[in-house]
Amino acid sequence: MGDLMKIFNTRTGSKEDFIPQDPFEVKAYVCGPTVYDLCHVGHARTYINFDVLKRYLISLGYRVTHVQNFTDIDEKIDQRAKKEGLSPREVAERFIREYFFDMDSLNVMRATKYTRASEYVPKIIKITERLLELGYAYRSGNTIYFDVEAAGGFGELVKDLKETIVGEIRVQGKRGPFDFVLWRVTGEGFDSPFGRGVPGWHTECVAMSMDTLGETLDIHWGGKDLIYPHHECESLIAKALTGKRFVRYWVHNDFVLIEGEKMSKSSGGKAYIRDILKKYPAEVLRTWILRSNYRTKIEYSEESLEEARVLYEKMRKAAAKSRGKEEMGQCAKDFAATFMSALDDDLETGEALSAVEELSDLILEREVEGAWRIFSLVETILGIKLHTPP
Ligand SMILES: [Zn+2]
Q: What is the pLDDT of residues 313-350, one digit of tens each?
A: 999 999 999 988 899 999 999 999 999 999 999 999 99
As residues whose CB is below 5 A from the ion ligand 1, the structure lists 31, 205
pTM: 0.95
Please say whether the structural domain 301-380 has been given the CATH code 3.30.70. no
**Cα-to-centroid distance, 182 and ligand 1 (Å):** 14
What is the full per-residue pLDDT of the chain (390 aa) written as tens digits?
Answer: 457 999 999 999 999 999 999 999 999 999 999 999 999 999 999 999 999 999 999 999 999 999 999 999 999 999 999 999 999 999 999 999 999 999 999 999 999 999 999 999 999 999 999 999 999 999 999 999 999 999 999 999 988 776 555 455 567 789 998 999 999 999 999 999 999 999 999 999 999 999 999 999 999 999 999 999 999 999 999 999 999 999 999 999 999 998 877 765 545 578 999 999 999 999 999 999 999 999 999 999 999 999 999 999 999 999 999 988 899 999 999 999 999 999 999 999 999 999 999 999 999 999 999 999 999 999 999 999 998 776
What are the tens digits of pLDDT across the range 268-282?
Answer: 578 999 999 999 999
Q: Which pLDDT belongs to residue 169?
A: 58
Alpha-carbon Rg for the chain, nearest whole angstrom, is 23
User: H helices within 181-230, ranges in order?
Assistant: 201-213
Domain 18-257 in this protein, CATH class: alpha beta
Distance 204 CA to ligand 1 centre (A): 7
Q: Which residues are annotated as a binding site for ATP?
A: 265
Question: For the CA atoms of 43, 48, 49, 51, what is the dihedral angle to 10 degrees?
Answer: 130
| C-alpha to C-alpha distance for 266 and 380, rounded to whole angstroms | 36
For position 173, what pLDDT does the model report? 86
Exposure on the CB side of residue 261, measured as CA atoms within 13 A: 9
Tell me the domain boundaries of the chain.
Answer: 18-257, 301-380
Query: Are the CB atoms for 144 and 128 separated by under 8 Å?
Result: yes
Specify the pLDDT at position 172.
Answer: 77
Q: What is the pLDDT of residues 359-390, one digit of tens each?
A: 999 999 999 999 999 999 999 999 999 987 76
DSSP per residue, 89-158: HHHHHHHHHHHHHHHHHTTPPPPSEEEEGGGGHHHHHHHHHHHHHHTSEEEETTEEEE-TTTTT-S-SS-
Could you tell me the distance, in angstroms and rounded to a whole number, from the CA of residue 36 to the centre of ligand 1? 16
Angstrom CA distances, 76 to 34, 80, 81, 239, stand at: 9, 6, 9, 30
Mean pLDDT in the chain? 94
Specify the DSSP class assigned to residue 71: B
For residue 151, the CA-to-ligand 1 centroid distance in Å is 20
Cα–Cα dist 383/375, whole Å: 11
Secondary element (H or E) of residue 14: strand 14-17
The rounded Å distance from CA 328 to ligand 1 centre is 43
Q: Are strands 261-262 and 256-258 parallel, antiparallel or unpaired?
A: antiparallel
Instruction: Say how many Å lie between the first and final Cα of the chain, rounded.
Output: 30
Buried b (16+ CB within 10 A) or exposed e, 293-323: bbbeebebeeeebeebbebbebbbebbebbe
User: Would you list which residues are annotated within the binding site for Zn(2+)?
Assistant: 31, 205, 230, 234
Contact 286, 382 (CB under 8 A): yes
Residues in contact with 138: Cβ distance below 8 Å, sequence separation at least 6, in sequence order: 132, 144, 145, 147, 175
Q: Nearest-CA neighbor of 181 among 155, 222, 142, 227?
A: 142
Q: What is the rounded CA–CA span in Å between residue 275 and residue 282? A: 11
User: How much distance in Å is there from the Cα of 71 to the middle of ligand 1?
Assistant: 8
CA of 215 from ligand 1 middle (Å) equals: 15
